[in-house]
Amino acid sequence: METLWVARLGRSTLELVEPAGAQIVEMGSARAVFGGVLDNDADFDAALGLEADPGRNAANLLLRAYLRSGETILPTLRGAFGLVVVDTSANTRLCVRDPLGVYPLFTADAGDELLVSPSIESLLAQPEVSGEVNVPALVDHLLHRWPDPTETFFSSVRRIPPGHALRLAPGERHLYRYWEPIPAEGPVDWLTEDEVESFDLVLEQAVTRCLQRGPAGIFLSGGLDSVSVAATAVSAARERGQAAPWALSLVFPDPDVNEEEVQTRVASGLGLRQELLHWDEAVGPRGLVQEALELSARCASPLINLWAPAYDRLAGRATGRGCTLILTGSGGDEWLGVTPMYAADLIRTFNAVGLYRLIIAQKRSYDLSRLRFLTNALWHFGARPLAVEAVGRGAPGVLRARKRGKARASIPTWIAPSAELRDALVDRALASDPRLSRPAGARLEKPHPRFYLEELRRSLDHALVSVEMEETFEQSLRVGVPIRAPYWDADLVQLLYRAPVELLNRAGRAKGLVRDSLAQRFPALGFERQRKVSSLRFATSLFNSETASAWASCGGAITLADTGIVDGKGIDPAVQKFLTQGGDARSMQRVWDILNLEAWLRARV
């Protein structure tokens, strides 16, 4: 299972304060701490001329490699880990988080020393670390804005983003990206049709890396992502001589999201033992909202995944069945699909045929109205980004003024009553907008799908993605087994980054790389025409039935008001208005956001 640790990094020292969950090793003038899992240790064995030894201390192996090749080893690391190195001879200290951020890594200053840990809670437990909450970050969270990928909801604790290393040297504190799925500059080496056939092999490698942890369960929905992971895991487990994984399926009561028939037929077709957990049993008599609020109060950050309480109970069934690992299909949407920002590149290159094909593929794959698809493709993700960029190049002051006005107008009157705080929020929004930092007059290569690639990069760098990864790590701690997503494997992401849109949307539908093979394997289940299931209506219905009583039970946003995050006089009328607006999704989301943040903050202040 996942374990925790705290390392104290001095100018020339490195020690474990809480040593239970990490390895520490010393070689000459260098020391290293390693927590987590290294997936490609055999590569380092070969590079160092060592005999393969699955039980070898990863800290020892990586320190040897570092002393031989320095920081050049970092881009080759694979796994879910945090690595800390102090090299006295080079007067350098390093803190490294794995390429995709599956393993959290946080830092806190302690005088001349730096505390490092995968756990915010463990850092806050240290006497030198303040538990003061980061009010601007919490307000931005309430506004669904996450401008700084390095900050947390505590002023004293910083995050090392995925794929980044923090280098400390005399007079230097440099945070940099060490792993790139493709080169940051220059042309993209796009995959050919023949090369894309290697996808199945790389996905199998990603799943096999996870299965090294032992007998697995799989959170199996009826969607393409988790089914593709399940199908691959069956063959990978067989090759390793392991028992077939357990299919772990949550059965929703709403017909819009109930996938029980597909879940059971996939499990039967793959020869999987299955644990079906029905909704009422998963959430208990108090309902999902109350369960989620109580869980949020125990988390290091306000809860992101509303369904977490139900999946915690499903995971409990898995551990009872002897599973030592749980796999998920998370990451499939990000890497198998095509971001709609590709529309801007197609319009920029006057590719009307490509734009038509993109719209058709999206319409066939997702359940939105025709008008919504056209509006998104032609304006929101098409002409609008181009227009904004043109204004930014030609009149950056106009764009900055427009952005400032929109940032200020987006803050409701009942949020951030302090003028000083509002000004700070606007400044944070401007500082985080890449359109305002792009050089004026910059020329663009028309064949280069830059909007598409920049959107993919945001999937790596966005703070909310890190928070979701960290939440999954916390869930692993709660349920007692690691939870892994093969689609967040660095080698698989690297391959999918280079897959042209035409291949990702093969046969005119999203996720073509897995859709065809699953349709052939399960010809009666309709995977060739399946659309993404949306839980929005079901979630809105739950909010409608449960949030009013939850708001009454909590007695209002008292802590949010005391902290200056909301206006104490304006918050209650605002919530009452949301509760009486007919139960639309946006209003119910607002109430949940307030309740969630209030529950979390009460446990902290």
On whether both 473 and 527 belong to a single domain, the answer is yes
* Average pLDDT of adjacent 10-residue blocks, the chain of 605 residues: 89 90 93 96 86 79 95 96 96 97 97 96 96 98 96 98 96 95 84 90 97 95 98 95 96 95 98 97 95 97 96 96 97 94 95 94 88 89 92 87 93 96 95 67 53 89 95 97 97 95 94 95 95 91 92 95 96 92 84 97 94
Asked if 159 and 274 sit in the same domain, the reply is no
Answer yes or no: do 201 and 285 share one domain: yes
Single residue among 411, 445, 479 that ends a domain in this structure: 445
Taken in order 599, 327, 463, 470, is the CA torsion positive or negative? positive
pTM over 0.85: yes
Q: Which residues does residue 249 pair with via DSSP β-bridges, in sequence order?
A: 276
- CA–CA separation, 486 and 327 (whole Å): 7
Q: Fill in the DSSP letter of residue 531.
A: P
Query: From residue 298, how far is each of 21, 50, 156, 293 by CA, in Å?
Result: 21, 44, 19, 9
Residue 504 located in a structural domain: yes
Give CA–CA dist 123/107, Å, rounded: 8
Alpha helices in 349-488 (DSSP H): 352-365, 370-375, 384-394, 396-409, 419-431, 450-461, 463-479
Residue type, 381: F
Here the CATH number for the domain that contains residue 267 is: 3.40.50.620
- What is the extent of the structural domain holding 420? 395-445
User: b/e for 321-356, b at 16 or more Cβ within 10 A?
Assistant: eebebbbbbbbbbbbbbbbbbbbbbbbbbeeeebbe
Cross-strand partners of 584: none
Q: Given strand 14-18, what is the order of strands in its sheet?
A: 14-18, 6-9, 113-117, 106-110, 158-159
Q: Which tokens belong to 217?
A: 């369960």
User: CA–CA separation, 332 vs 312, rounded Å?
Assistant: 21
SS3 content of the chain, % helix, strand, coil (to 5): 50, 15, 35
Q: Is residue 371 part of a domain?
A: no
Give yes or no: residues 441 and 581 share one domain.
no
- The answer to whether residues 144 and 230 belong to one domain is no
Calpha distance 526→223 (Å, rounded)? 11
In a domain, 458, yes or no: no
Q: Beta strand pairing status for 172-177 and 164-169?
A: antiparallel
Nearest to 411, CA basis, from 396, 399, 423, 394 = 423
Sequence-separated (6 or more) residues with CB below 8 Å from residue 569: none
If asked whether residues 228 and 127 sit together in one domain, one would say no
Q: In whole angstroms, what is the distance from residue 249 CA to residue 244 CA?
A: 16
Looking at the structure, tell me whether residues 528 and 545 fall in a common domain.
Answer: no
CATH number at residue 75: 3.60.20.10
> DSSP string spanning 45-96?
HHHHTPPP-TTS-HHHHHHHHHHHHGGGGGGG--EEEEEEEEETTTTEEEEE
pLDDT in the model for residue 1: 60
Whole-number pLDDT of residue 415: 97
Structure tokens at 443: 């020329």
- Residue 448's pLDDT is what? 61
How far is it, in rounded angstroms, from Cα 531 to Cα 510? 9
Residue 106 DSSP one-character state: E
Tokens at 214, concatenated: 């032992």
Please state, in angstroms and rounded to a whole number, the distance separating the CA atoms of residues 318 and 218. Answer: 9
The residue to which tokens 């109930």 are assigned: 258
Do residues 490 and 577 share a domain?
no
Tokens of 287: 């309902």
Final residue in a domain of this structure, among 515, 533, 551:
533
Which pair of tokens denotes residue 108?
């806190």
Instruction: Say if 355 falls within a structural domain.
Output: no
Query: Helices 41-48 and 58-69 meet at what angle, rounded to 10?
Result: 50
Helix axes 135-142, 419-431, angle to 10 degrees: 70
Helix (H, G, I), strand (E, B) or coil at 32: strand
Residue 438 forms part of a structural domain: yes
Name the β-bridge partners of 515: none
Looking at the structure of the chain, the number of domains it has is 4
Write out the two tokens for 155.
């002023």
Question: Quick check: is 375 in a domain?
Answer: no
Kindly tell me the sign of the dihedral angle through the C-alpha atoms of 467, 470, 476, 482: positive
| Residue 108 near residue 114 (C-beta atoms within 8 A) | yes
Q: What are 539's two structure tokens?
A: 């979630």
| Co-location of 95 and 22 in the same domain | yes
Per the domain annotation, does 365 fall within a domain? no
Q: Which of 177, 207, 242 is the last residue of a domain?
A: 177
Query: CA torsion 364→370→375→378, rounded to 10°?
Result: 60
> What is the distance between the alpha carbons of residues 386 and 393, in angstroms, rounded to a whole number?
11
pLDDT in tens, 351-363: 999 999 999 999 9
Closest CA to 462 of 161, 158, 134, 137: 161
Q: Are residues 410 and 309 in the same domain?
A: no
Q: Same structural domain for residues 290 and 423? A: no
End-to-end alpha carbon distance in the chain? 31
